[in-house]
Amino acid sequence: MSKAACQGCRSGEPLPFHFTMAFHPIVDVSKRSVWGYEALVRGTEGQGAGQILAMVDEANRYKFDQACRVKAIELAGSLYPDAETKLSINFMPNAVYEPAACIRATLEAARRVGLAHQQIMFEFTENERMVDVAHVQRIIAEYRKQGFATALDDFGAGYAGLNLLASFQPDFIKIDMDLIRGIATSPARQTIIACVVTMARTLGITVIAEGIETEAELGTLRAAGIRLFQGYLFARPALARLPDVHFAASETASISLLAGGQAA
């Protein structure tokens, strides 16, 4: 199966659909700056990720995963403001057959546009059931060997978050928005988040809170010790460009920052 998949990737046959990437900022509120951007798959006319992913099947899954990485890196190479800004790319663990071989297109794309390996973070989601945990461990080990960071996305929303955390030890975890929604008035959610932050700190893992929509959510999570955030409170994803980023009034006295200091 691995050999067949690799041959399919090299066949030159195009995907039966077109796509691009939207960029959504991850901000460091303690520095009032953009820490990085997550690349999110979109249709070329702005169609949502669900519409594009619905066209992904077993026959084109590997090629699509590879194409997404390359597209994200190529766009970032033309848009990114500096060598410190991170690029977060989602990947499908079940679409990686041989970690060292499957990373070659990513390495070549990064070299071509001058994006350092240390700038790139790969996210895998708790919502995708892992077919082979040992295989995913090999993927993460190879990515770390190449200098890439890894993140467990949607933490707290999927199949076995704590078990995956113990198995993979990613560099980052992204707390799912369903745990965050309503946290300002929920002692139960506040307690859960506090425990997650303490656990992550003990394991040497950095927490990112995603799906932030209100200043009340932001304030509660900041008090819990989180400094990296993502959500509509700061910006909405922008199609094939970096969006303007607006920090919350309570954080910056109404200061707004144009993403990376560049014109949109």
Alpha helices by DSSP H, listed for 146-237, are 161-168, 177-180, 187-203, 215-223
133 vs 77: which has the higher pLDDT = 77
Q: What is the mean pLDDT of the chain?
A: 85
- Reference 141, options 175, 96, 109; nearest CA is 96
Show Cβ contacts of residue 215 under 8 Å, excluding neighbours closer than 6 positions. 233, 248, 249, 250
Structure tokens given for 65: 């995963």
pLDDT, position 68: 94
pLDDT, position 253: 36
Range name among 58-62, 101-105, 181-185, 253-257 with the lowest pLDDT average: 253-257
- HEC letters along 25-81: EEEECCCCEEEEEEEEEECCCCCCHHHHHCCCCCCCHHHHHHHHHHHHHHHHHHHCC
- Asked if residues 247 and 255 have their Cβ atoms less than 8 Å apart, the reply is yes
pTM for the full model? 0.87
Q: Which of 38, 128, 210, 251 is catalytic?
A: 210
Q: Which of 89-93, 128-132, 152-156, 230-234 has the highest mean pLDDT?
A: 230-234
Is the pLDDT at 252 greater than 50? The verdict is: no
- Reference 242, options 234, 250, 254; nearest CA is 234
Per DSSP bridges, beta strands 149-155 and 172-175 are: parallel
260 vs 27: which has the higher pLDDT = 27
CA 2 to chain centre: 26
Q: What pLDDT band is residue 59 in, cutting at 50, 70 and 90?
A: confident
Show Cβ contacts of residue 142 under 8 Å, excluding neighbours closer than 6 positions. 99, 100, 103
pLDDT digits (tens, 9 = 90+) for 63-111: 898 999 999 999 999 999 888 999 999 987 766 767 777 788 899 999 9
- Asked if residues 176 and 208 have their Cβ atoms less than 8 Å apart, the reply is no
Q: What pLDDT band is residue 112 in, cutting at 50, 70 and 90?
A: very high
6 vs 31: which has the higher pLDDT = 31
DSSP-assigned letters across all residues of 84-131: T-EEEEE--GGG-SSHHHHTHHHHHHHHHHT--GGGEEEEEETTS--S
CA-based R_g, the chain, Å: 18
- Mean predicted confidence (pLDDT) in 16-44: 96
- Mean predicted confidence (pLDDT) in 152-166: 76
Is the pLDDT at 127 greater than 50? The verdict is: yes
Phi, psi of 9 (to 5 degrees): -70, -35
Is the pLDDT at 46 greater than 90? The verdict is: yes
How many Å apart are CA 155 and CA 108, to the nearest integer? 31
Q: Which residues of 228-239 are buried (b: 16+ CB within 10 A; e: fewer)?
A: bbbbebbbebbe
- Mean predicted confidence (pLDDT) in 123-141: 76
pLDDT, position 69: 93
Specify whether 210 is catalytic. yes
Q: What pLDDT band is residue 9 in, cutting at 50, 70 and 90?
A: low
Q: What pLDDT band is residue 1 in, cutting at 50, 70 and 90?
A: very low
1 by Cβ neighbours in 10 Å (0-12 / 13-18 / 19+) ranks as exposed
What are the residue boundaries of the structural domains of the chain, listed by start? Answer: 2-261
Q: What pLDDT band is residue 162 in, cutting at 50, 70 and 90?
A: confident
DSSP 259: G
pLDDT, position 165: 84
User: Coil, strand or helix: which one is 175?
Assistant: strand
In this structure, which topology does domain 2-261 adopt according to CATH? TIM Barrel (3.20.20)
Is the pLDDT at 41 greater than 80? The verdict is: yes
pLDDT digits (tens, 9 = 90+) for 171-212: 999 998 999 999 999 999 999 999 999 999 999 999 999 999
- Asked if residues 232 and 213 have their Cβ atoms less than 8 Å apart, the reply is yes
How many Å apart are CA 140 and CA 143, to the nearest integer? 5
